[in-house]
């Protein structure tokens, strides 16, 4: 993908995160994907496991608005930086996603997040 295609893909993907749209979000991921974040450090294997995790996560969290910041192409994927505003919480999050792709499907997604001061 070109830099512009990566930026558009990332923005669409983050839009699905903001909407908490599990079916749309899972459609970005390969059937055999690996997903890791601060709560799933050992990782989740496969789209079905990710879908169940997202349903639980979204049910337990307030509204979150993800805003893409920058993307950097990598061989086979990209790194994307974003900011997240959480309803009812002062401050915001800044995160980075390592995204490896097979075609247009995410095969590996590692999420790194830290809290920014209010």
**What is the set of domains in the chain, with CATH numbers?**
3-116 (3.10.450.50)
Q: What is the pLDDT of residue 61?
A: 93
Q: What is the pLDDT of residue 49?
A: 98
Q: What is the pLDDT of residue 118?
A: 73
Give me the DSSP letters along 51-83.
HHHHHHHHHHS--EEEEEEEEEEETTEEEEEEE
State both tokens at 51: 């879908």
Q: What is the pLDDT of residue 93?
A: 94
Segments of the chain scoring below 70 in pLDDT: none
Q: What is the pLDDT of residue 16?
A: 98
Report the candidate in 3, 50, 4, 2 with the shortest Cα–Cα distance to residue 26. 50
Q: What is the pLDDT of residue 116?
A: 87
């Amino acid at each position: 993908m070109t830099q512009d295609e990566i930026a558009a893909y990332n923005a669409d993907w983050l839009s699905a995160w903001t909407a908490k749209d599990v079916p749309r979000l899972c459609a970005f991921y390969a059937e055999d994907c690996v997903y890791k974040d601060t709560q799933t450090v050992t990782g989740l294997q496969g789209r079905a496991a990710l879908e169940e995790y997202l349903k639980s996560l979204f049910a337990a969290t307030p509204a979150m608005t993800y805003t893409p910041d920058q993307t950097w192409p990598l061989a086979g994927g990209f790194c994307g930086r974003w900011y997240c505003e959480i309803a009812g919480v002062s401050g915001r999050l800044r995160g980075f996603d390592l995204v490896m792709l097979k075609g247009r499907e995410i095969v590996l997604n590692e999420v790194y997040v830290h809290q920014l001061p209010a």
